[in-house]
Structure 1
Amino acid sequence: MAAHNNAYSLPSQPLPLSPISMIDVFFPGLTNIPAALQQLQAGPNSYGRVLCICGLAVFFGRYVNDFFEAFVTRHFTSRVYVSHSNEAHDMLVAWISSQPFSRKASSLLASVGTMRRGSANDHFDGNQKKSLQYSPWNGSFSFWYKNRLLTFRSVQKEGRIFREEEISVSCTGRSPDVLRELFSECRAEYLKLVKNKTSVFEHRDGGWKKTRAIDKRPLDTVILDEKKKTALYGPPGTGKSSLSRAIAGACDLDIYILNLSGVDDSSLGKLFTELPAKYVVLVEDIDAVDVTQSRQRGTVKTGQDETSSSMEKSQGRVSLSALLNVLDGVGSQEGRVLIMTTNHAERLDAALIRPGRVDMKIELGYTNKDINARLFCAVFMRDDTLPDGSRQGDEVTLGNLTTEFANKMPEQEFSPAEIQSFLLEYRRSPHMAVENVQEWVVRTREGKRQMKRANSWVLQEGGDILG
């Protein structure tokens, strides 16, 4: 029994642990290389030796390459990074894409029509229709700039929603002066591209994105009552958005268009903090989101009304208090113009439009005789011969037609957009426009009456169902 027990007894001393080398801490597996070399010398197979040597070369090469790249990047190069959401990205890509050396890039992004976000003049293939444009994408290449070798790199990285592009330009040396000179040149060339244009930004993916650049529109091309060209509410099609863009062009400012239905309280504040020092921000159809009624709904606290109030509040993602905070904070800084448009001024909360927050209010209503005449002239006053034999530059003929048109068109009934749409149908014949205007008035009135009856029926049916 004693012998049997001794056979299964545990050792009285613990087994010694192999010491961990400090080399393995920084270079895992490096201490096993001497043993591998001994086996390599003793091994009879020459092919096996070759494979082992290649494996060791790859092993060492990985460490050497990573160490060398990190060391050189940190101590011997300068680099400037550009976020895809910043306009500096457009400036750099526009300049890079216009340079001959960018054609040598092995990785390109092809696009039809306008460049990414409409920012650059890329390489065209010669066709005006559906022209192809190319720009460097997800790769790197080197180029000479002012006798310095620079490297352009585009990398795709995981973003909050989708992969985002990160661009960088680097050079050898600790001084980034040459990179600053490059970006200054990119900025100067970019400003030439957007000269006499208004850059339009919209909120997308949590930030501002440049969507297009439009020609600056002089204020005199916006046909409204001259006494009302100073501030904005009124029926659809009365020129609220057009006047806002004209104001941005007249002030030589970019315009930022905000749709409140796509943001909440936190993102609203973030968007306003990311605005530049000087800008025009256009909040279109502020009544459509119904943010202005949150205070009234919040006063209901009992019974079924409380449940209804909570449901209504959840539909409006932006609260009135959050909107007022940005208007009184970053939105009220000097050099910034805030324009809010609405089709229903009566729905707006008094706190939102009180003096101090809204300094100017103007109603852009339906047309009068003067506006009708100016709309007619704007469409037909051009120096070319029309198919009906008249010349658009003939002031006498056009003057008579303008007066006749203005007399036939009723006042305070149609929007400028409606009248302009009618006139453009006869853009080649002002005589036909005058001849058919009364028929159009009758037809349009009947269409509106039918639409009004249809809307009334829908509301009535909805009331019966809900009731």
Structure 2
Amino acid sequence: MDLPDIGVDALPDDGEKPGYLHQLRSNQFFAAGFGLGALGAATTALKKLSVVGMGIARRKLFVSVELNSRDPSYEWFLNWMARNVNHTQHLSVSTDLIKHDNGTVTTSFGFLPSTGRHYFRYKRTFMSCERVRETNTLARSGQLWESVVITMLGYNRHKLLELMEEAKFEAVQKIEGRTIVYSAMGHEWRQFGNPLRQRPVSSIYLPSQVSSRVLNDIQEFLSSQEWYVDHGVPYRRGYLFYGEPGSGKTSFIHSLAGAIGYNICVVNLSEKTWTDDRLQYLFANCPDRSILLLEDVDAAFIDRQAEIPRGYTRADAHLLLSYSGLLNALDGVMSSDAQLVFMTTNHKQLLDPALIRPGRVDVQEYFGNAVSEQVISMLKHFFPDVTEEACSIFSSLVPDNSMSMAELQGMFLLHKDDLDSLINAVKELNLNNIDPALIQPGQEYFGNAVSEHVISMLKHFFPDVTEEACSIFSSLVPDNSISMAELQGMFLLHKDDLDSLVNAVNDLNLNQINDSDS
């Protein structure tokens, strides 16, 4: 039988079997898979290299800066974008309520860049900004966290600095000559309303020595920071303005803020939401160049021993602001340096001595009712051409401490165009006939109804009344026997019937009461 010719090459040398490597190379499926794996590995490596290369290129060829929503420059830049970048199509609306000097309010709508990426050119340099809004909120304020990342092609970061300086300049120009008022919202300060027009110190009618003394003290303090640091003295200054309602305490603080270029952070301690840690945090984080104003500081506590504000019980004490918390916020370890603190009160006698001791309150100023100097100053301001003789006559009609500055200004505003009308109105008040013993410095006196008041009210309610009827009715109401409120109440009850009014007053028998009192 003939055997098939299998060839010499088909037989293994020396009787050895083929190796695994040879078998794998000869397997077409393995060869194809190996090739694909090598291609995938090469692609992955190239991808990683491209990412690394892009990262290197970004670091070398691009400059980026991030602005977060808690930084003032965040709003500056968005407003700059709204004014200078007009081609972006993705916008969010910003509504501004503009209050004018005459009290009217107008509304304007602005468009800010919305979330996402926006491209623009600044001084021949390509830039992009990406506005991002996170879903989580800020722990203390409850606001959504936002940020803007500005990226510039190139490596000259000075262009970004120029951009931010320009945005800052435009923002400052918008509020130049105005004072921003901040209010505490949660654990942060927020602008309250529109910036107020700065008020000259000369428009506050105070005795000259008071305004000059306080202003000079503030200016000396602001120029002495190095001295405070060198001597290890805390760099802060406290002021207490106390006295009569309507005497100009808060208005003077507003004018002082404008004079030194500061804003105002207002704290109302009578709010029920204050706690020790919130107060200390806000006091330590006031906006730069801001006055800290504590209005009606006497309203915070009933007394130091109780330390429980009105409307709360002792069971709620751990949730509330304590007296020691207020003192520590003013000058404790956590208190802030470079701070101007102003307090106002109408009742200094209710304040605890620990609150107004030196170190917490360095300057105390009394604000009383109108005196001659203030009366003449206001008269010259409203009527610049008034003569010295007219000033002397008018001043004599308003004895010292007989009228608050707010009341006096109210009368000036009612008669701002007619000096004669103003003089006649003040004469009708008959301030000189008030018993001088009843007028104490710092005390305002309002007596009960006198004959002139009674007749004036009678003619107002019954314009056709005769002089004889006026005389008869006036005789039924002796001077100081009834308050103006009581008298007006009777007029309102009988406003349509004079005879009924006369009978009602006659039934009161005020003349006998007056005789028995005397």
- On whether the aligned pair clears a TM of 0.5, the verdict is yes
Equivalent residues, number: 350
CA distance in 1: counterparts of 2:56 and 2:483, whole angstroms: 72
Name the residue aligned to 2:397.
Answer: 408
Q: What RMSD over aligned residues (CA atoms) do the two structures have, in Å?
A: 4.0
CA distance in 2: counterparts of 1:74 and 1:338, whole angstroms: 52
1:387-419: CA deviations, max 9, x gaps? xxxxxxx343xx444333322223213221121
Whether 2:252 is the aligned partner of 1:243: answer: yes
CA distance in 2: counterparts of 1:73 and 1:375, whole angstroms: 70
Aligned-partner residue type, residue 364 of structure 1: F
Q: CA deviation at 1:146?
A: 2.7
Name the residue aligned to 2:72.
Answer: 87
Name the residue aligned to 1:349.
Answer: 352
Whether 2:432 is the aligned partner of 1:432: answer: no
1:404–1:434: 8 Å Cα contact kept in structure 2? no
SS at match of 2:93: strand
Aligned-partner residue type, residue 303 of structure 2: Q
Aligned-partner residue type, residue 92 of structure 1: F
Name the residue aligned to 1:113.
Answer: 97
Aligned-partner residue type, residue 78 of structure 2: V
Match of 1:217 among 184, 199, 207: 199
Aligned-partner residue type, residue 179 of structure 2: T
Whether 2:269 is the aligned partner of 1:280: answer: no
SS at match of 2:306: helix
How has the CA–CA distance of structure 1 residues 151 and 450 changed in structure 2, closer, same or farther, with 3 Å as cutoff? farther
2:184–2:190: 8 Å Cα contact kept in structure 1? yes
Tell me which moved more, 167-176 or 417-426. Answer: 167-176
Q: CA deviation at 1:166?
A: 2.2
Aligned-partner residue type, residue 295 of structure 2: E
Tell me which moved more, 216-225 or 74-83. Answer: 74-83
CA distance in 2: counterparts of 1:338 and 1:185, whole angstroms: 32
User: What TM-score does the superposition give when structure 2 sets the normalisation length?
Assistant: 0.58
Q: CA deviation at 1:350?
A: 0.7
CA distance in 1: counterparts of 2:486 and 2:143, whole angstroms: 47
Name the residue aligned to 1:168.
Answer: 148
Name the residue aligned to 1:97.
Answer: 82
Tell me which moved more, 83-92 or 350-359. Answer: 83-92
SS at match of 1:275: coil
1:81–1:166: 8 Å Cα contact kept in structure 2? no
User: What TM-score does the superposition give when structure 1 sets the normalisation length?
Assistant: 0.64
CA distance in 1: counterparts of 2:210 and 2:318, whole angstroms: 34
Whether 2:180 is the aligned partner of 1:205: answer: no
1:117-140: CA deviations, max 9, x gaps? x9xxxxxxxxx9735231315334
How has the CA–CA distance of structure 1 residues 92 and 440 changed in structure 2, closer, same or farther, with 3 Å as cutoff? farther
How has the CA–CA distance of structure 1 residues 313 and 108 changed in structure 2, closer, same or farther, with 3 Å as cutoff? closer
Trace 1:7-86 onto structure 2 (pairs within 5 A): 79-86=64-71
Name the residue aligned to 1:144.
Answer: 121
How has the CA–CA distance of structure 1 residues 441 and 173 changed in structure 2, closer, same or farther, with 3 Å as cutoff? farther
CA distance in 2: counterparts of 1:73 and 1:204, whole angstroms: 44
How has the CA–CA distance of structure 1 residues 174 and 150 changed in structure 2, closer, same or farther, with 3 Å as cutoff? closer
How has the CA–CA distance of structure 1 residues 401 and 314 changed in structure 2, closer, same or farther, with 3 Å as cutoff? farther
Name the residue aligned to 1:133.
Answer: 109
CA distance in 2: counterparts of 1:332 and 1:217, whole angstroms: 30
Provide the identity percentage: 23
Match of 2:367 among 346, 364, 379: 364
Name the residue aligned to 2:314.
Answer: 311
How has the CA–CA distance of structure 1 residues 322 and 373 changed in structure 2, closer, same or farther, with 3 Å as cutoff? same
1:34-71: CA deviations, max 9, x gaps? xxxxxxxxxxxxxxxxxxxxxxxxxxxxxx9xx99xx8
Whether 2:337 is the aligned partner of 1:340: answer: no
Name the residue aligned to 1:53.
Answer: none
Match of 1:252 among 248, 253, 261: 261
How has the CA–CA distance of structure 1 residues 214 and 86 changed in structure 2, closer, same or farther, with 3 Å as cutoff? farther
CA distance in 1: counterparts of 2:342 and 2:262, whole angstroms: 13
